[in-house]
Amino acid sequence: MNQDIRQQRLKSLLATQPRLHRLDQTSVNILYADANARQVPVTVITEDKDALLHKWIPAGMAMVREQLRTHGALLFRGFNVASVEAFRLVVQAFSEEAMPYTQRSSPRTEIKDRIYTSTDHPADQYINMHNELSYSYRWPLQIMFCCMQPAAKGGETPIADSRQVLKALSPQTRQQFRDKGIMYVRNLGGGLGLDWQQVFQTDSRESVEEECRQNEMHFEWKDNNRLQIRWTRPAIVKHPATGEEIWFNHAYFFNAANLDEAVADAVMSREDMPFNTFYGDGSPIPVAVLEEIGAAYERSRIVFPWKKGDVLLMDNMLMSHGRYPYEGNRKIMVAMWEPNR
């Protein structure tokens, strides 16, 4: 770790402003890090070894919701959420019914009751910043991660405020996306990416076609049981609770320019890319604009090391997330709820 990074982390820790709260007989501190350090999200921390997060949440719900609207994410630390069942109880404290993961873009394994592995992507791959299911007509307003086992090296889940990402874009870029929106194109099957059965969680072509019609998605069946789908969505939307404009899309994540090199090399034609994005009128998004979006995420990014038992709650519209490559075993669970469309 170089000296600049050490100094930055020390500055972040010294800038935190702890506030003591006692709810449900559990003492917690809320730490507000220096916003410029971009090292630590707002953290709700306890040293009470007997504290149970799912018991604390109901008493602290008003405070949690207020902090979430303001900061977009909350990290719960010290509550020792160390099992699938403990995490399930925390999720149920917020919602009796978690959302299923449909119209999938990432390989995941359901562990129990709509609690999933965060991703089954190989450890050496970087996962670009994105808001969960922002390409879909139905997405979760809240998403929660739980660390069962931090990686030996790397494996952080970077997060970025969607409001700040939007502000970091030039007025010209913002206007282009406001006017045109985004066209998404996916080719499902053929050995690259997920097949349509995984994406739609069904083996029925009729069910897939009906879902596409309901969501205004153009579909075309191709040879070898492949399916191409294309649809348009806004790039910039207003948050339903705060009314703020946010950058909420997969324009950067899904663009063919950001595909893994091995996948790109295996594709014979750009028409067969597993993912791609365009402006809503079908015109290509220039490389310079994609680089600008990537730089906006970079400037807004917060990175922190996972600790075993950590729980990260995010407003899925206000905060995007990604994943760094890692070494060793890494076990992160995820659940989402409160569908919006």
pLDDT digits (tens, 9 = 90+) for 221-280: 999 999 999 999 999 999 999 999 999 999 999 999 987 666 556 555 667 789 999 999
* pLDDT on residue 33: 60
Cα distance between residue 257 and residue 261, in whole Å? 9
- One-letter amino acid for residue 168 of the chain: A
CB–CB of 282/182 below 8 Å?
A: no
Domain covering 3-98+110-130+138-152+305-340 assigned CATH 3.60.130.10 in the classification: yes
Tens of pLDDT, residue by residue over 42-98, are 899 998 888 899 999 998 999 999 989 999 999 999 998 989 999 999 999 999 889
Q: Residue for token digits 């492949």?
A: 226
> Rounded mean pLDDT of the chain?
88
User: Which of residues 151 and 262 earns the better pLDDT score?
Assistant: 151
Query: Which residues of the chain does CATH 3.60.130.10 include?
Result: 3-98+110-130+138-152+305-340, 164-296
What pLDDT, on a 0 to 100 scale, did the predictor assign at position 197?
A: 95
Q: How far apart are CA 135 and CA 260, in angstroms?
A: 20
Q: Which residues contact 191 (CB under 8 A, 6 or more apart)?
A: none
**pLDDT digit string, tens, across residues 288-341:** 999 999 999 999 999 999 999 999 999 999 999 999 999 999 999 999 999 987
Q: What is the mean pLDDT of residues 91-113?
A: 91
89 vs 91: CA distance, rounded Å: 5
**Residue 9 pLDDT:** 46
Query: What CATH number does the domain located at 164-296 have?
Result: 3.60.130.10
State residue 241 phi and psi, 5-degree precision.
Answer: -100, -45
23 pLDDT above the threshold of 60: no
pLDDT of residue 14: 39
What was the pLDDT predicted at 260?
Answer: 66
